[in-house]
Structure 1
Amino acid sequence: MKEWWVQVGLLTVPLLAVYLHIPPPSLSPALLSWRSSGAYFTYKDQNIFYRDSTGAVGSSDIVVLLHGFPTSSYDWYKIWEGLTQRFQRVIALDFVGFGFSDKPRPHHYSIFEQASIMEGLVRHLGLHHQRINLLSHDYGDTVAQELLYRYEHNKTGSILINSLCLSNGGIFPETHYPRLIQKILKDGGLLSLIITRLMNFFFFSRGLLQYINQRKKHRERWVGALMSTSVPLHLIYGPLDPVNPHPEFLQLYKKVLPTSTVTVLDDHISHYPQLEDPTGFLNAYLNFINSF
């Protein structure tokens, strides 16, 4: 009941803003700086924002960061500098529909398209012949699973994956509990149509939320990729996560993927561990990278 009222409260403000024609707020100095430090490449007819930082001298290692829903590459800002001290290249993009990338509509958004965009960025940067470490979160975990499937099946244009680190994502549909607003908008119906029309706000469109259904439909493909791979796997997990709750999620993860290593952060860390505990998250990731 408490969550229901919270969700209603969260909806009230943007709905009123639309009715009153309040313009969107200006970007903060931090976001302006993030955007000015990035660039764009074109995937088909879509402009995709990305950041590419040159880091550690003497290292040839590359890390690519895959963000979650409904945010952007800015999710990684607290650990960006730390990563540049270890990796020669640190790269992140805003998936289509997110952040500073294009948000076409109507549009059929899919995990498959996002994976192809990631492959397109790697080709654009001339890194398609180099091995790459993937670090992902939430929605990005599923994109990483699709990239892993393509790599394991030698698909043309696939990224050469050196390692994969997942964090707090709906890897298993059966232990993923989307928030109420996600359920409403994903399933459609009158309430969904009213909300999407009133809000006129992209992230609350049904199309983008179809990734939840895609996880269920393609579970065998994406979980199977994790089960069969020889790529080093790691999970960094915030155990207070209400979307992928402890201990249910972690028990299933260890059962299905017994060869993967796991870092469980402090008990108060929730769904965005890289933001809530950047030091713990970064240390866990670097320990994993340095272990092989």
Structure 2
Amino acid sequence: MREWWVHVGLLAVPLLAAYLHIPPRQLSPALHSWKSSDSVGVVGSPEIVVLLHSFPTSSYDRYKIWEGLTLRFHRVIALDFLAFGFSDKPRPHHYSIFEQASIVEVLLQHLGLPNRRINLLSHDYGDIVAQELLYRFKQNRPGRLTIKSLCLSNGGIFLETHRPLLLQKLLKDGGQLSPILTRLMNFFVFSRGLTPVFGPYTRPSESELWGLWAGIHNNDGNLVIDSLLQYINQRKKFRRHCVGALASVSIPIHFIYGPLDPVNPYPEFLELYRKMLLRSTVSILDDHISHCPQI
């Protein structure tokens, strides 16, 4: 019997090694184009919008609305946060929403826009970064952005109504198990874990999912997902100043909500949002739209 298990083990080792080193599909022409493109917009318009993307994807998840944004704004700026998409993915590293917010500020200084009034358009993880930027704006912190308006979308800004996916819970709280799970993650695991957030009627095609996965897998980004998920704990620890900033600033705030969202479920989320942010306006999309309305 012992000899049988030895043979199984010896067979499993090369199979696991092959699994872990399966090369990802090459970048699609659309993803190549996205990586190399510059921001464009309406000539003569003074408006600038900065896009803050979701977890665990990248700025590429805005590709379907990019043209519409460039027709409205003079300049559209989309970055990949550190450890997302085509950005560097250092490890080990202590990732935080505060570092991501500082990166946004430094980027706009680098682009020569430190004193321009900026519109923020955020989603999911980007909503949490936007809250931190809003807090710095309210506190008049040095180097902070001058925010003209904020538009949020389907982000877990309230702990009380946030329902992380099972895979997120396992990776966030997995301890010694997390490094194993991140190394076992491949396209199949990613697509099966993420598709519930799209709802049954608006799921992306397999090629679109490959594009999202390519951004995660680039530079071994799947190996740092557990570290990135610590933003959930950071949001819990600093809830008061993040939610407080949303509720107290005087700039226009709008929320775009896909009500079929399993992560921020209807009606609990919307009821709490309207209770906490009395001055914010809300757009509720069709009842078949889920967590990722931009896709």
For the criterion TM > 0.5, the same-fold answer is: yes
Q: CA deviation at 1:190?
A: 4.0
Structure 1 residue 130: Cα displacement: 0.6
Does the 8 A contact of 2:151 with 2:254 survive in 1? yes
Pair 1:204–1:251, CA change in 2 (3 A): farther
Compute the RMSD of aligned alpha carbons. Answer: 1.7
2:272 is the counterpart of 1:252 = yes
- Aligned twin of 1:202: 221
CA contact (8 A) 1:18 1:199 kept: no
User: Shift of the alpha carbon at 1:79?
Assistant: 1.0
**Do the aligned residues in 2 keep the contact of 1:142 with 1:215 (CA within 8 Å)?**
yes
Counterpart amino acid of residue 19 in structure 2: Y
Alignment partners' CA distance in 1, 2:291 and 2:145? 27
User: Residues 137-191 of structure 1: CA distance to partner in whole angstroms, max 9, x if unpaired?
Assistant: 0000000000000001000000000000000001101111100010011012343
CA 1:269–1:89 in structure 2 vs 1: closer, same or farther (change >3 Å)? same
Secondary structure in 2 aligned to 1:166? strand
User: Of 239, 251, 265, which aligns to 1:219?
Assistant: 239
Which region of structure 1 is more displaced relative to structure 2, 188-197 or 227-236?
A: 188-197
Letter of the aligned partner of 2:48 in structure 1?
I
Q: Tell me the SS of whatever aligns to 2:149.
A: strand
Q: In structure 1, the residue corresponding to 2:118 is in which secondary structure?
A: strand
Provide the TM-score with structure 1 as the length reference: 0.81
The aligned amino acid for 1:234 is H
On the 8 A contact 1:151/1:161 being kept in 2, the answer is yes
**C-alpha deviation, 1:193, in angstroms:** 3.8
**Which structure has more helix as a fraction of its residues?**
2
What is residue 119 of structure 1 aligned with on the other side?
A: 105
Q: Are residue 36 (structure 1) and residue 55 (structure 2) matched?
A: no
Q: Which residue of 1 is the match for residue 23 of structure 2?
A: 23
Whether 1:61 aligns to 2:81 is no
1:164 is paired with a residue whose SS is strand
The residue correspondences of 1:156-175 to structure 2 (distance < 5 A) are 156-175=142-161
Structure number with greater CO (CA < 8 Å, separation at least 6) is 2
Shift of 1:204: 5.4
Distance in structure 1 (CA, Å) of the matches to 2:222 and 2:132: 22
> Displacement, 1:18?
5.4
**TM-score normalised per structure 2:** 0.80
Residue 266 (structure 1) aligned with residue 252 (structure 2): no
Give 3-state SS (helix, strand or coil) of 1:152's partner: helix
Contact 2:46 2:73 in 1 (8 A): yes
Matches within 5 A, 1:2-151: 19=19, 21-38=21-38, 53-151=39-137
Deviates more, 1:104-113 or 1:196-205: 196-205
Are the aligned partners of 1:18 and 1:198 in contact in 2 as well (CA < 8 Å)? no
Shift of 1:25: 1.5
Distance 2:246 2:127 in 1: 11
Residues 67-93 of structure 1: CA distance to partner in whole angstroms, max 9, x if unpaired? 000000111111111111111101010
In structure 2, what residue type is equivalent to 1:27?
Answer: L
The offset of 1:24, in angstroms, is 1.7
Amino acid at match of 2:126: G
Amino acid in the other structure paired with 2:127: D
Aligned to 1:232: 252
Conserved 8 A contact 1:151-1:158: yes
Residue of structure 1 equivalent to 2:11? none
Alignment gaps of 5+ in structure 1: 1-14, 39-52, 276-292
Runs of 4+ deviating beyond 6 Å:
none
**Contact kept in structure 2, 1:254 and 1:260, CA below 8 Å:** yes
Per-residue deviation, residues 218-252 of structure 1 (Å, max 9, x unmatched): 10010000011001000000000000000000000
Distance 2:24 2:110 in 1: 32
- Matched residues in 2 for 1:258 and 1:17: separation? 54
